Structure 1
């Protein structure tokens, strides 16, 4: 059915069980214009720290200790892109800054994908003011994460230990370290304001289990660590809710540590993330066309009507069916007659984004059940997922 007119589809009904925080969220780059096990750093030993003055509260002492111990592991990342002068000659242009966290003594640094996106060159500034050219090891736009690497002698870097995002509690103290507006290694503190938020990556994919915090984070904080009171990285600061680009209003978002561990594990071992793949091509969201389900006499008013599937994909091999006919809705011709995808592994699917998010929970080789409406009969179709083709 590849010769049929491709149908643009829109995100529609969002289930009450999910909270999508996508209105006016801002990536935090400061603009001037089960994977294989990864050996994560433990707490570094032998770091000399200034003795806090007497009379400080326990919380102040904790803040000072965490900052002195782990802020050397937070770096500044400057990106350079290529612009053109009046005579259309290529000219290097400094385009933005962000933050990153050192994760091992081999020079690997985790940051956000949107920090390094489109960069011709990357420069990392360490706390000792030395500057180092970096290369991108791998990136995953769907989770807004990237790993870069600098070449420095072992033992020179301070690593930030990666904790876990399991068991986090609303109200738990957090510390954010980064480079807002280029102000190096700035510390702010706050609490976990909420858990289980969702934001939308720049490629439209939904990132789930996001940590919300009131710790002040601003442009330039992207890629910096969100730490707990033990100094463990529980998240990567990524975005803020900022009406009218007014900066921090106490609503910031961080990618959870368990997602960071899973994604960077793939990036460090293969250079890319091995996403699972279902292989459904275009779809028509019934909710976007009121009356279509009734006109087709379907027993449902929601779901994704499959237009086509990719050749030799898991979906095509499982027998999922695409469109067989066309109907005219106003001035548009819509391919119809395909299976209507209702559920994936028992969870109702109301948008393409929801389907992509659910597929991402699994890995290649997993056997899943896709529930479809076919000939007004609800059936379960077993599908074995495969690794997504690299783009």
Structure 2
């Protein structure tokens, strides 16, 4: 019998969320962000599921883009990190990729390039996040330098928000004002809105949006938001109980004896561990569901196993289903109990976790 751990991916949910993103910004086109293997959901499968309706896709780097091209994806693909060296330009030219340009060296590599096709580019401004992008004072000169290149096609102006997941915080408005002031005399399409801004800042929707985590059914917001309530998890990570035992009050559970039973406890062992991507730092009390009932993690996470409190789960037995995150157990709640974010849970899934796709068109 195979190990019972698997990840189920609901492709219908991903399609629904992309359509939701389009409804939120009906005048904009939307790039589906599928970087980092589609946030752990499988970039090729997700891109194929969206291929008939997505306006394009966004990835981090050339390697991720070429994987999509080789799988038959012909839509525009944006390279969010841009070009790492001039040696990538022939690949970008051949695969008709669109790089983000966020620095003078990248711009100069493009100016010196002699591609067979005109290269579309997205020009990035640092409007306050201070991670990548041209300073506001350099942005118009950078645009002018890029626009005069005969080998450059369409240019989209972009920036990225640092705190759009906090709708009440004034920093997003500050970034938006900076971007609008600098770009007011530049005649080019614009892109600002990530998932959080799509939900919380209609003023930022512009010509292109970039939905990411919301495609996978997770709210990007720090606190509950009415528009995020319609999102449903696309991924369910599930396994099964492989051992059930009775442990006396006062007895420790697992490595280091971190958890000590307060009362006689029925303890279940489930087949998943940190080698699969389950968070090693999940605390005692982290949520888990057995037979559709919420309960808690007890004891330290092992490489291949976790231990679960079965008190209150009637007749729990070997083989019973365990949900680690999905519809019953919020990935965000587990992440909060593990000192991380849902993004990391998804992207940390190990290749030994089988993936099953549902809703294939």
Is TM (by shorter chain) over 0.5? no
By percentage of residues, which structure has more strand? 1
Q: So what's the TM-score if we normalise by structure 1?
A: 0.27
By percentage of residues, which structure has more helix? 2
